[in-house]
Structure 1
Amino acid sequence: MTTLAERVKQAQARIAHAAHQADRSADEILLLAVSKTKPAEMIRQAHAAGLNHFGENYLQESVEKIEQLRDLPLIWHFIGPLQSNKTRPVAERFDWVHSVDRLKIAQRLSEQRPAELPALNVCLQINISREASKSGVLPEQLTEVAAQIAKLPNLTLRGLMAIPQASDDPAQQRAAFAQMQSLLHQLKALHPTMDTLSMGMSGDLEAAIAQGSTIVRIGTAIFGRRPPLNKETNQRG
């Protein structure tokens, strides 16, 4: 049985190989360890193995772990669905939010971000596969929504995030990710801070990296399988 540290090395090697295949540098790609449902001790082990960025979906659970791990220099990413009445703890504790799916959420995060903290990095979640079960901005709405969010104080609009419809077909995977890459390219001329594509997980990171992903969200391949998803989220890692 492999150790957590060994699985981290395997994930890093997989990213490096995918980057090489895409004629990219592995240094351009951040491994975001999705630690939802996993105890703080496992995050400590992952940090000891060289990881600093961790993604969380469940608000109450993540707040507890952030408090338990305050002694470590970790960077926290909120990647789950966010209700407007629960934005304050995220604005106060996280460094990134990948799942901004409407203007109201961004406005509340901006208003509630403590003045003493740096601007909160945010990504717009795009419903690239137009699935009724998923939230997110539709591609045709993106230009307008991005323009509104870019004006908000206390936020930095960093890029786009998506979870395309699940597929085992690499061509289908790449097609969805290519759409995301095109959308970011279009917006960068208007919003120079947009340099991030948060896309690709344990099952499709190669296709995502081939299409320009800068953050891949890996959970299962590092921490092992999780209990079945509950109704609180439809995010996968």
Structure 2
Amino acid sequence: MQSTPSLADRLALVRSAVADAVREAGRAESEVTTIVVTKFHPASLVRELAALGVTDVGENRQQEASEKAAELADLDLAWHFIGQLQSKKTRAVLAFASAIHSLDRPSLVTALGNALEPGASVDAFIQLNLTDDPARGGVRPVDLEPLAESVLATDGIRMRGLMAVAPLDSDPRAQFARVRKLGERVQRMAPDATDLSMGMSGDYRAAILEGATHLRIGTAITGNRPVAG
């Protein structure tokens, strides 16, 4: 029976595949940050990842993320909040997150600005909804510029660019090309907002080929989520 790949093996495999895709795209490896998504996994796994050289970790639930960040405060990690964010939880997320990837409505932008301490700042990505389902997180492309204007008018929020998830029933590369073009619209308003947070375990190669700067990779590295007892 073939043994299950270890965490180190899975991480090495993804790192190699990312490097291959970056070369295929004619880009530099320094242009792409791999965020390891550790939701539902214990803090001990994050500590193992840190020992393997991982510096960027993604979480999508505030309470779970806050607890892990507190337990792992001795590590030099950059925590990325990638889940849907309730306005009332912005202050709690700001306590640990260096970047928020899910700005999707003006009220959240206002709440985030109000929660920031004077002189403090946070990196932020506007999340796009690439589906026809309004219940999904993200702003519709037609509403992108007004939301970007709201972000740019709020002190302390550094707009990095766009975040998106490719719909399951679509060609991911075509969707990521769409995000790249929408990003060019934002850059006309904010020339420094050049980043694209897109690409997950099953489609990160396509994302890299379309200009992704931040990948959010979970199970390909961490393995399946633990089964609740």
Instruction: Report the TM-score when normalising by structure 1.
Output: 0.90
Which residue is equivalent to 1:199?
Answer: 198
Of 95, 106, 111, the match for 1:108: 111
Conservation of the 8 A alpha-carbon contact between 1:128 and 1:138: yes
Alignment match, 1:71: 74
Contact 2:186–2:193 (CA<8 Å) still a contact in 1? yes
Return the alpha-carbon distance in structure 2 between the equivalents of residues 214 and 42 of structure 1. 24
Kindly report which structure 2 residues correspond to 1:83-122, keeping only aligned pairs within 5 A, or say none. Answer: 83-115=86-118, 117=120, 119-122=121-124
CA contact (8 A) 2:104 2:128 kept: yes
Shift of 1:11: 1.0
1:127 match: 129
Task: State the AA in 2 paired with 1:212.
Answer: G
- In 2, the alpha carbon distance for the partners of 1:73 and 1:36 equals 19
The TM-score normalised by the length of structure 2 is 0.93
Equivalent pairs counted in the alignment come to 225
Unmatched 5+ stretches in structure 1: 229-237
Are the aligned partners of 1:131 and 1:165 in contact in 2 as well (CA < 8 Å)? no
Aligned twin of 1:190: 189
Percent of aligned pairs with the same residue? Answer: 37
**What does the per-residue CA deviation read over 1:104-163, in whole Å, with 9 as the maximum and x for residues that have no partner?**
11111111123364x100000100233344121111111111011111011101110011
C-alpha contact (below 8 Å) 2:109/2:150 kept by paired residues: no
The structural deviation recorded for 1:215 is 0.5
Could you give the per-residue CA deviations for residues 36-57 of structure 1, whole angstroms, max 9, x where no partner exists? 1111111011011111000001
State how far apart, in whole Å, the 1-side matches of 2:131 and 2:161 are: 18
Q: Answer yes or no: is 1:225 the counterpart of 2:224.
A: yes
- Superposed CA deviations along residues 49-105 of structure 1, whole A, max 9, x for unmatched, are 111000001111110000000001110100001111221101222110001110111
Residue 211 (str. 1) matches residue 210 (str. 2): yes
* Code of the aligned partner of 1:91: L
SS of equivalent to 1:95: strand
For residue 148 of structure 1, what is the aligned residue in structure 2? 150
Rounded Cα–Cα distance in structure 1 between residues aligned with 2:194 and 2:78: 18
Query: 8 Å contact 1:196–1:214 — kept in the other structure?
Result: yes
- How much is the aligned-residue C-alpha RMSD, in angstroms? 1.6
Which amino acid is 1:39 matched to? P
**Aligned residue in 2 for 1:37:** 40
| Paired letter, 1:122 | A
* Residue matched to 2:31: 28
5+ residue gaps, structure 2, are none
**Corresponding residue for 2:58?**
55
Segments of 4+ moved more than 3 angstroms:
none
2:5 to 2, 11, 16: 2
